[in-house]
Amino acid sequence: MKRNFEFTGLRYPKSFLKLLLLGFVLVSLPLILVLLNAAAYVDRLTSQSQAAVEQAAEAARGSRVLMEQVTAMERLARQYLILGDASLLTDYATVRHSFKQTTSDMSLLPLDESQLRELNRTIDKEQDLFAQLGGKHDRRDERRSLIEGYVELSDLANNVLKQSNLLIDREIENMGAQARRTQRSLLWQLAASIPLGVLIAALFAFLIAKPIRQLDHAIRQLGDAEFATGIRVRGPADLEYLGQRLEWLRQRLVELEEQKTKFLHRVSHELKTPLTALREGSELLADGSSGALNRQQSEIAEILRHNSLQLQRLIEGLLGYQQALDSVNRLELRTVDASELAREVTRAHKLTLAARNIDLQLQLEPAWLQADAEKLRVVLDNLVSNAVKYSPEGGIISLEVHAGADKIAIEVGDAGPGIAAEDRERVFEWFFQGKLGHQGPVKGSGLGLAIAREFVLAHRGSIEVIAERAPGAHFRVSLPIQRDQA
């Protein structure tokens, strides 16, 4: 048996548990991907932030050292110009060597254009000043000009420091902007993953619920004694196996139903012949054809006659049950008026109603439909007979026929003891008799409502007990109107 799912082309897992686990994994997958992506974003943002902070800090540190070195060279240059001590030039050379190392290190950093420009101006200015410092400075204006040059050099070094501070500010702003972009991206991904997860969850809910619904339908089908349709469950292997076992059970029930039908048919016919002789004998005894009977013998003969009559009715009910089963799917459809059939049925019960002083209230509307007239008459007759049987002396029976847009409704009610709440689901079963007693003289067989239900279902209609129409029992039959044939 193939287990391919018709709509998606996917193969079901072998077990229901695996299907649940697969559904859980796939529903969680979008959120897991978002979390992994978020972790990657955060890691990348952290790495970039760390590198930017380290570079900015290195540039700032180099700028501060550069500023200190320029300040030291300016002080040594001033002292040398005032004192003329050659050892100060040696100290200047040492500081200048550190200055050149610092500028060399800073030039290797990924500085922006403005920082690099200010750094090159500082280097060029220092080289020019150093060249001037090595010459003679006899004139006062020459010394003043050189000192002013070192003041300019300090300003240039200070500009390098300012650019480094601006770089730190820009890096902080860039990290904030990148963090906001990352946040928006993650929010969009999360917003997209939620409906995707819901969609996957809905798909798997359908995949999971489908075989369960099929099993539920199969169980209800068996519970309603509908054995004609085969049972097939599509889904995981373990649920398909349950469907196969239900199909086996259906076939066994079909066999048992056939055996029961054959048994009832045979027993009914086997009992009918001796029962006829028994009834004729009891009638002869009761009529005194074989001689006069005393009072006690007459009572015994009457008991025999009454019980043989009751037994004959039960056997006739069994035969009627068999005939109903044989003819339930053979409908001879023609256009009939349900209200006219209702009038014919009530005329047949006229004497019984008069004898028990029962008031029959009719509300009949013309209601034309395509139906098997004889079977619909049996439905109406069984419902009215049931109402007569359970109605008390002087009671009221209502019979209504209403025509709707696409169906007709037939309602029959009585003023009897009604139907117990626990019996409402079973009242249409074969041979079932409710717990509440009836007022009629003859005990029923429990077949009338069952036969009515089978004939109504054959017409694709429904029959139900109207619980809110108490007291008494009230039944409603709904039959579709086939307009294409009307």
Q: Are residues 449 and 310 in the same domain?
A: no
Distance CA 233, CA 12 (A): 12
Q: Are residues 344 and 321 in the same domain?
A: no
Q: 435 to each of 201, 393, 418, 419, how far by Cα in Å?
A: 48, 20, 10, 8
Residue 133, H or E segment: helix 113-133
Q: Are residues 273 and 160 in the same domain?
A: no
Q: Are residues 310 and 371 in the same domain?
A: no
Q: Are residues 190 and 277 in the same domain?
A: no
> 457 near 477, Cβ under 8 Å?
no
Q: Which of 298, 326, 354 corresponds to the end of one domain?
A: 326
Structural domain includes residue 220:
no
Q: Which of 300, 326, 352 corresponds to the end of one domain?
A: 326
Distance CA 116, CA 420 (A): 100
pLDDT score for 431: 67
Q: Are residues 143 and 249 in the same domain?
A: no
Distance CA 344, CA 334 (A): 17
For residue 312, how many other CB atoms are within 10 A of its CB? 16
Q: Are residues 244 and 368 in the same domain?
A: no
- Reported as a single tens digit per residue, the pLDDT across 61-70 is 877 887 888 8
Of residues 266 and 349, which shows the higher confidence score? 349
Q: What is the CATH number of the domain that holds 286?
A: 1.10.287
Q: Are residues 307 and 373 in the same domain?
A: no
Structural domain includes residue 6:
no
Structural domain includes residue 26:
yes
474 three-class SS: strand
* 420 phi and psi angles, rounded to 5 deg: -60, 150
- Reported as a single tens digit per residue, the pLDDT across 422-470 is 777 778 776 676 655 444 444 455 677 888 888 888 888 999 988 776 6
Structural domain includes residue 7:
no
Q: Are residues 296 and 367 in the same domain?
A: no
Confidence band (pLDDT; 50, 70, 90) for 418?
A: confident
Q: Are residues 176 and 81 in the same domain?
A: yes
Upper half-sphere CA count for residue 252 (Cβ side, 13 Å) = 6
Domain count across the chain: 3
- When mean pLDDT is compared across 72-86, 91-105, 299-313, the lowest value belongs to 299-313
Q: Are residues 335 and 322 in the same domain?
A: no
Structural domain includes residue 64:
yes
pLDDT score for 340: 93
Confidence band (pLDDT; 50, 70, 90) for 11?
A: low
Biggest alpha carbon–alpha carbon distance for the chain = 180
- Please provide the average confidence, as pLDDT, over all residues in the chain: 77
Q: Which of 305, 326, 347 corresponds to the end of one domain?
A: 326
Confidence band (pLDDT; 50, 70, 90) for 4?
A: very low
Structural domain includes residue 233:
no
Confidence band (pLDDT; 50, 70, 90) for 13?
A: low
pLDDT score for 480: 92
Structural domain includes residue 2:
no
Range of the domain at 364: 331-480
> 109 near 55, Cβ under 8 Å?
yes
Q: Are residues 355 and 471 in the same domain?
A: yes
Which residue reads 């005939």 in tokens? 323
Q: What is the CATH number of the domain that holds 337?
A: 3.30.565.10
> Among 440, 485, 436, which Cα is nearest to 460's?
485
